[in-house]
Amino acid sequence: MRVATLILGSVLLTHSAEAQTPIYRCTGQSGTVYSDRPCAADANPHEIDDSRVTVYTPAPAAKQPSAKAAAKPTRARSPKQARLPDPAKHRLACARLEQSLRDVRTKMRTGYGAKEGERLKMRQRQLEQRRRLEKCGR
C-alpha cells in the first residue's frame, strides 16, 4: 500500500504541470501500480482527483540591482582583542552560572513535587545552555 501511495505521489508531482499525460492504474499480483504506460491492451486512463492539491506560484522576482549599486562600503575590522569580552567579567559570569547550577542540583536532591521537578529540570537545561553559549569550561 505504501509503495502504491509513493508511486502515485511521485506521479502526481511529476505530472501536475502536464495535465495532458494519461496515467494508468494497473492491478496485478504485486498490488496496484500507477504508470504512464498502459499495462494491458484494454487499460483505461485513471482520472486523478486533483481538487485537493494546492499549487503555489511565487511572484516574479524583482530585478537584481547592479553590482555597483549593491556593493556596500566595507569597514575596517577591529582588532580581535577589542571583540573579546573582559576576562574578569567572563570569569564572574561563569562563576554565577556554576553557582546557579549547584543551587538547582541541590534542590533536585531534596524533596519536591512533580510540577516543581519539571520547573527545576527546565531551569537546569537553560543554565547549561547559557554556560555553553558563554563558553564556560568545567
Q: Is residue 75 part of a domain?
A: no
Helix, strand, coil tally for the chain in percent (to 5): 45, 10, 45
Instruction: Give residue 14's domain range.
Output: 2-46
pLDDT (tens digit, 9 = 90+) per residue, 95-108?
Answer: 999 999 999 999 98
Measured CA to CA, the distance from residue 54 to residue 110 in angstroms comes to 56
Q: Is residue 58 part of a domain?
A: no
> What integer pLDDT is reported at residue 65 of this predicted model?
62
> What integer pLDDT is reported at residue 74 of this predicted model?
65
pLDDT digits (tens), the chain, 138 positions: 565 565 656 655 554 445 567 888 887 788 888 888 888 777 778 787 777 888 888 888 877 666 555 566 666 665 555 566 688 888 899 999 999 999 999 998 988 888 999 999 999 999 999 999 888 876
Q: Is residue 68 part of a domain?
A: no
Q: Is residue 127 part of a domain?
A: yes
> What integer pLDDT is reported at residue 27 of this predicted model?
79
pLDDT (tens digit, 9 = 90+) per residue, 10-23?
Answer: 655 554 445 567 88
Task: For residue 33, report the phi and psi dihedrals to the nearest 5 degrees.
Answer: -130, 140
Residue type, 40: A
> What integer pLDDT is reported at residue 7 of this predicted model?
61
| 8 A C-beta contact, residue 31 and residue 3 | yes
The CB density around residue 87, as the number of other CB atoms within 10 Å, is: 8
Q: Is residue 66 part of a domain?
A: no
> What integer pLDDT is reported at residue 110 of this predicted model?
87
Q: Could you tell me which residues are beta bridge partners of residue 24?
A: 35, 45
pTM of the shown model: 0.39
What DSSP state is assigned to residue 29? T
Q: Is residue 51 part of a domain?
A: no
Q: Is residue 128 part of a domain?
A: yes
Q: Which residue bears the cell 582588532?
A: 79
| Total number of domains in the chain | 2
> What integer pLDDT is reported at residue 123 of this predicted model?
94
Q: Would you state the cell numbers that stand for residue 90, as one nine-digit string? A: 567572563
